[in-house]
Amino acid sequence: MSPFVKFYLFSYNFLQASAWAISLLIILNSFLSNKTIISAYASAGFLISLFQTAAILEVLHGAIGIVPSGFLSPLMQWSGRTHFILAIVGQIKEVQDSPWLSITLVAWCIGEMIRYPHYAFTCLGRCPYWLTYLRYTGFIVIYPTGLVGELLIMYKALPYVKERNLYANFFSVFPFSYYDFLWAVLLVYPFLWLKLYLQLFKQRKSKLGKSKKLHGKRKRM
């Protein structure tokens, strides 16, 4: 990997980590100020939507081969989250004050505050073991929390999608409506998510083992 690519990837991941950390601070401040947990989207929704959309770059990174993830896995993760935050939450005000949305966004923020610094330091070859451990352990609780929240919000959105015939113009060329599409997403989403979740468990064993050996060698040196 060239020094320029390393610098670019470190800068990108550092920027993303900072944005998600700021989002979490804004949400927590909102919780304390308003004495309620339903204000996460109102306070940090724009920033989260912006940087989640910008994460399309990670699909490009995989597609051109500057990271080893490939493009399919990042594409699945990006499209699922971006559809959720822009097409559903951003368009249906009735779900924006749900406690489950706040829980989901907090889970997203915590997960990304771990993931992006891990990527940033890994591309420099200087990732501390504790951060690697956190990356491949924290997801065990954080990811299912986010999944449950996303599914509940999508389910809550269904009546409003049907009532307003949301995205009717776009779906007019298809033999099904967006309401039908969203039902299909609800049914398929947990299985696609489970594939990614189990993949992380496989990575956990190898990554933690390699990281522990590497840091053991550095200590002996």
Rg value, the chain, Cα = 19
Selecting among 136, 150, 178, 189, the annotated active-site residue is 150
Give catalytic status of residue 94 as yes or no. no
Buried b (16+ CB within 10 A) or exposed e, 77-116: bbebbbbbbebbbeebeebbebebbbbbbbbbbbbbbbbb
Q: At what angle do helices 178-220 and 129-164 cross, to 10 degrees?
A: 180
Give catalytic status of residue 143 as yes or no. yes
Selecting among 143, 155, 160, 197, the annotated active-site residue is 143
Q: Which residues form the catalytic set?
A: 143, 150
